Structure 1
Amino acid sequence: MAAIKKVILIGAGGNVGPWILKALDEDPDFEVSILARKSSKSTYPSNVMVHHVDDSYPDDQVSEAFQGQDAVVCSMNTSQVMRQINFIDLAVKAGVKWFVPAEFGGNKAKSHLGVKTPMFDAKESVHKHLMEMEKSGLCWTAVATGAFLDWGLSNGFLGFDIEARRAKVYDSGDEHWTGTKLPTIGLAVARLFKTPEKVKNRFIYIYSTRTSQNEILRAFETATGKKWDVEHVKFDDEVAAGQELMKQGNRLGIVPLILSSFFREKMGADFTRATEADNDILGLPVENVEDVVREVLAWPESMIESARLV
């Protein structure tokens, strides 16, 4: 297969997208461009070409942007996941060689054990369509990351309120799992194109550190020099409450549903135990949780603001 050179990124302004863009843009082996809605307020480096399309992503405009591209990378938000099926079809017609979907989640092999959500079902539909398109010559790689570690620590998603010095610990808090920092996710996407035959038509599993909620709590207390308030909760109760919130239209109800797949035992959330992680293939760093916590505590306000849940 010819080398992947020209890569177009969809969703460059979200949580993961800026880090994928950064990794691709800083690598001289790639010529990166962006597909963006005309109404988007996101800004990008001046050296990166931006293909602006109408907000409805008309086929003719998307197809034009895909012409001459070697790969399409999607990092769209969860409400847009199903749009990828049409993007995949347009990519095939345009002769694109590789597609990286907006996966960036948990262990696909164990997903059937988790709490069902519309997001998981949508990602499964995209995965099936990618496998179907293999017969048309399209290759794909989906990246399983576990929890977004730095992002989730900074905004409370993983149960830690930095400003209030308060932690919500699920079940025992000793369950081990792996999570990945946003810059490492960006590196993984850029580097997977360097070893295409090793990552072709499959999920790859990456992580920055293996930890637990209690380990994170100890790291926060050490780094801040303060004892934190701790609320102990049960996943069964939190999942039921989350499902009720979702019925009421509150999107934050999905948080405990997602965390149940990341934190609970036997969910395959520890990539060092449940599957063979691909860090070595991609040359990705492994870090200790103490360093990650100190890094998050030093985040500037601009990064904290961009990571807020609401």
Structure 2
Amino acid sequence: MVHVAIAGGSGPEVAREVIDALLATNNHELTVLSRAEAPKSTTIPKVSWQVVDYHDKTSLVKTLQGVHTLLSFIQPLSDPNQTAQKNLIDAAITAGVKRFAPSEYGSKETADMPWWSGKASIRSYLAHINAESTVIEYTLFQPGLFLNYLAHPYRTSRHLAPLQTVFDFEHRRAIVVKDHLNAIMTFTSVTDLAAIIALAINSPAKWPLTSGISGNRLTVAQILAIGERVRGRPFTVEEVHLEDLERGELKTSWGLQVVHRAVAGEEEAAVKAMLEQVAVGTLLGCVKGAWESGEEMNRLFPEYEFEDAEGFLRGVWEGKP
């Protein structure tokens, strides 16, 4: 049993899925770190709540005393210059925290995804800290794209909100890059991500720098084929050119419509531009291998059975119009 702290754990999505998985093990002491007081409506049984100021390193060090593992879910978009997460890392080192996982939980690379540029900054920061010796053990949990998003608009987990992607199963349509149907993407359910993180915390094995989690390794062509099988008829597929994407242009008849909570509150035009940027970055990342996760966690936990993409999606879409 170890003391696990979850920074940004007050968020209602991925962090809460991980908290549920850790609670299910009944093995650890859990503390949520949040900028705000715990709302009565989101009180989590068996989890303590600590209000923190990420700009007060002295206070953070005190809060982290006795913590063994620190998981960060601080949203990069809400952390200008990644100051909060860098202060958290510094405080964790001073407090003697043994293990740390930065706010990742997505793609392997972020070069074409400016909304995730903060992740690259934190990766560099951690690499610099450990350049000469291991100052703090850390890993990057990377599950690829959440399989749950292909169920949009239906909710398929307790906390993760539905999110539209370029593979729109609801309307039987997709946006793909011309001549790149063999590009590989990894799709992992958020439940599997949470379960693997819980297993990694329980494991005494040293964490690798990258913890790729590969629930389903699929080509774009395979994703479309699964979609057509579970939805019962062909998809309308729009092809875009790589050159247009490199210029930041998305020449399609439709685009992403759903606003993720991370960009909630933006003006309508800014939101539309942001979602177009997300579609462009997702497609570029697909072609360049950013969504093809490694299999470090699959090898560490070979007995774990991941949710099968087609079976999962058939269960969601069967009987749906």
TM-score normalised by structure 2 residue count: 0.75
Match of 2:171 among 137, 150, 164: 164
Q: CA deviation at 1:251?
A: 2.1
Match of 1:75 among 73, 80, 84: 73
Which segment drifts farther, 65-74 or 222-231? Answer: 222-231
Give the Cα–Cα distance (whole angstroms) in 2 for the partners of residues 22 and 237 of structure 1: 42
Tell me the SS of whatever aligns to 1:251: helix
Give the Cα–Cα distance (whole angstroms) in 2 for the partners of residues 227 and 136 of structure 1: 52
Q: CA deviation at 1:153?
A: 4.7
Q: CA 1:288/1:118 → structure 2, altered by over 3 Å: closer, same or farther?
A: closer
Give the Cα–Cα distance (whole angstroms) in 1 for the partners of residues 151 and 185 of structure 2: 14
Q: CA 1:57/1:257 → structure 2, altered by over 3 Å: closer, same or farther?
A: farther
- Please say if residues 153 and 160 of structure 1, whose CA atoms lie closer than 8 Å, have aligned partners that are also in contact: no
Tell me the SS of whatever aligns to 2:202: coil
Residues 1:236 and 2:232 aligned together: no
- Please say if residues 210 and 296 of structure 2, whose CA atoms lie closer than 8 Å, have aligned partners that are also in contact: no
Give the Cα–Cα distance (whole angstroms) in 2 for the partners of residues 152 and 11 of structure 1: 26
Match of 1:11 among 4, 8, 19: 8
- Please say if residues 219 and 290 of structure 1, whose CA atoms lie closer than 8 Å, have aligned partners that are also in contact: yes
Q: Which residue of 2 aligns with 1:225?
A: 232
Give the Cα–Cα distance (whole angstroms) in 2 for the partners of residues 30 and 258 of structure 1: 38
Give the Cα–Cα distance (whole angstroms) in 2 for the partners of residues 296 and 86 of structure 1: 42
- Please say if residues 242 and 252 of structure 1, whose CA atoms lie closer than 8 Å, have aligned partners that are also in contact: no
Residues 1:149 and 2:147 aligned together: yes
Give the Cα–Cα distance (whole angstroms) in 1 for the partners of residues 15 and 73 of structure 2: 6
Letter in 2 for 1:146: G
Residues 1:133 and 2:129 aligned together: yes
Deviations 1:95-136 (Å, cap 9, x if unpaired)? 21111101223335xx6xx4362623x222212322343447
Q: Which residue of 1 aligns with 2:306?
A: 286
| Runs of 4+ displaced beyond 6 Å | none
Q: CA deviation at 1:151?
A: 2.7
Q: CA deviation at 1:31?
A: 1.5
Give the Cα–Cα distance (whole angstroms) in 1 for the partners of residues 140 and 29 of structure 2: 21
Deviations 1:183-233 (Å, cap 9, x if unpaired)? 111122211123343424x11211110113332233233223344333222
* Number of corresponding residues: 282
Match of 1:203 among 210, 214, 217: 210
Deviations 1:222-273 (Å, cap 9, x if unpaired)? 2233443332223432453459x9xx84322331343135421x526434xx
Give the Cα–Cα distance (whole angstroms) in 2 for the partners of residues 222 and 194 of structure 1: 39
Unaligned runs of 5+ in 1: 299-310
Q: Which residue of 2 aligns with 1:95?
A: 96
Q: Which residue of 2 aligns with 1:304?
A: none
Q: CA deviation at 1:61?
A: 4.4
Q: CA 1:49/1:292 → structure 2, altered by over 3 Å: closer, same or farther?
A: same
Give % identity: 24
Q: CA 1:255/1:185 → structure 2, altered by over 3 Å: closer, same or farther?
A: same
TM-score normalised by structure 1 residue count: 0.77
Tell me the SS of whatever aligns to 2:97: coil
Letter in 2 for 1:218: A
Residues 1:270 and 2:292 aligned together: yes
Give the Cα–Cα distance (whole angstroms) in 2 for the partners of residues 87 and 242 of structure 1: 37
Give the Cα–Cα distance (whole angstroms) in 1 for the partners of residues 60 and 15 of structure 2: 18
Which segment drifts farther, 153-162 or 140-149? Answer: 153-162
Q: CA deviation at 1:39?
A: 6.4
Give the Cα–Cα distance (whole angstroms) in 2 for the partners of residues 14 and 242 of structure 1: 33
Give the Cα–Cα distance (whole angstroms) in 2 for the partners of residues 137 and 150 of structure 1: 36
- Please say if residues 146 and 179 of structure 1, whose CA atoms lie closer than 8 Å, have aligned partners that are also in contact: yes
Tell me the SS of whatever aligns to 1:193: helix
Q: CA deviation at 1:276?
A: 4.8
Letter in 2 for 1:174: N
Give the Cα–Cα distance (whole angstroms) in 2 for the partners of residues 194 and 147 of structure 1: 24
Spell out the pairing of 1:23-102 with structure 2 (5 A cutoff): 23-38=21-36, 43-53=42-52, 58-80=56-78, 82=82, 83-102=84-103
Q: CA deviation at 1:34?
A: 0.7
Letter in 1 for 2:244: D
Give the Cα–Cα distance (whole angstroms) in 1 for the partners of residues 127 and 204 of structure 2: 16
- Please say if residues 239 and 256 of structure 1, whose CA atoms lie closer than 8 Å, have aligned partners that are also in contact: no
Deviations 1:25-72 (Å, cap 9, x if unpaired)? 111222112112216767242221111235x65435433431221111
What do you get for the CA RMSD once the two structures are aligned?
3.1
Give the Cα–Cα distance (whole angstroms) in 1 for the partners of residues 73 and 64 of structure 2: 16
Letter in 1 for 2:7: I
